[in-house]
Amino acid sequence: MRSLERSGTFQLGDLRVRRLGYGAMHLSGAGVFGPPQDRDAALAVLREAVAAGVNHIDTSDYYGPHITNQLIREALHPYPDDLVIVTKIGVRRGTDGSVLEATSPDELIRAVHDNLRNLGVDVLDVVNLRNVFDDADRAGELIDAGLTILADLQRQGLVRHIGLSNVTPAQIAAGRRICDIVCVQNRYNLASRSDDGLIDSLANDRIAYVPFFPLGGLGALQSPALSHVARLFNATTAQVALAWLLRRAPNMLLIPGTSSITHLRENIAAAEITLPDTALEALSGGAPIASWAKGGA
């Protein structure tokens, strides 16, 4: 059995994916802007991921912009029959690399067509609408209007399934009144667990939860308990953090990203770690786990 098969599978609508996938954000240049420093290495990581059994890739056409999706197409097209590519819209990049909202109807429709063109497909498997507003009223307006547009594109056959990103339970509930939601992407990891209740609620409804920054984001996760469990399993702390997420809930789909084949293989090997209940208790209920940035306070 290949390592990834040990992670199990979950449904994204009518699409079944392995629970440990790959996030393509880091394949473009520094700051997720411009071309990669080593294009051949980026292509090699994508090919290695699929060869190892990854069949769930997370991306967006604003990575680069356009570059990451073009890399995916160059490396993997024609795509394996079971490969599911999930993208997101609602953001664009300025010419200076700035991250800007792109939430008007024309911008959302254009983003879908950009993803279609650069990935080289006739239909997008899953499109996540990303909330870019802290203000609840503006976020609600965006979600309602954006999902209405996506639902129309779905009826046109350009989008197969729809998800949400960076949203609250109330926003998800409102969105589900407009269309079916197959997945939710929010920040979640051992140190950032405000979505505990939401994850369990979504699991009951068979909706996937896809944590971004599963390994802490800008800083590495650390705690005495995490280090102790990693030593017991002769694993890295990152591998244990991923294994914990896989045990956390059956609807958890992981998309750790990397531009390194070595790190990709380490992440995939996390699927082979089965944490016992005692380890889960130590990690979930012990001393707080922090996200520590090297060189930071």
Q: Are 183 and 210 in contact (CB under 8 A)?
A: yes
Its sign, for the CA torsion 13, 18, 19, 24, is negative
- Environment class of residue 78 by beta-carbon count within 10 Å: exposed (0-12), middle (13-18) or buried (19+)? exposed
- Environment class of residue 205 by beta-carbon count within 10 Å: exposed (0-12), middle (13-18) or buried (19+)? exposed
Which one of 22, 63, 79, 209 is the catalytic residue?
63
Single-letter amino acid, residue 46: L
**Catalytic status, residue 63:** yes
- Environment class of residue 284 by beta-carbon count within 10 Å: exposed (0-12), middle (13-18) or buried (19+)? middle
Helix (H) or strand (E) holding 211: strand 208-212
Q: Are 80 and 48 in contact (CB under 8 A)?
A: no
Q: Are 97 and 31 in contact (CB under 8 A)?
A: yes
Q: Are 215 and 236 in contact (CB under 8 A)?
A: no
- Comparing CA positions, the residue from 263, 259, 267, 254 lying closest to residue 44 is 259
Helix (H) or strand (E) holding 263: helix 261-269
**Whole-angstrom distance, CA of residue 13 vs CA of residue 136:** 28
H-helix segments, 9-90: 39-51, 67-76
Which sequence positions are flagged as catalytic?
63
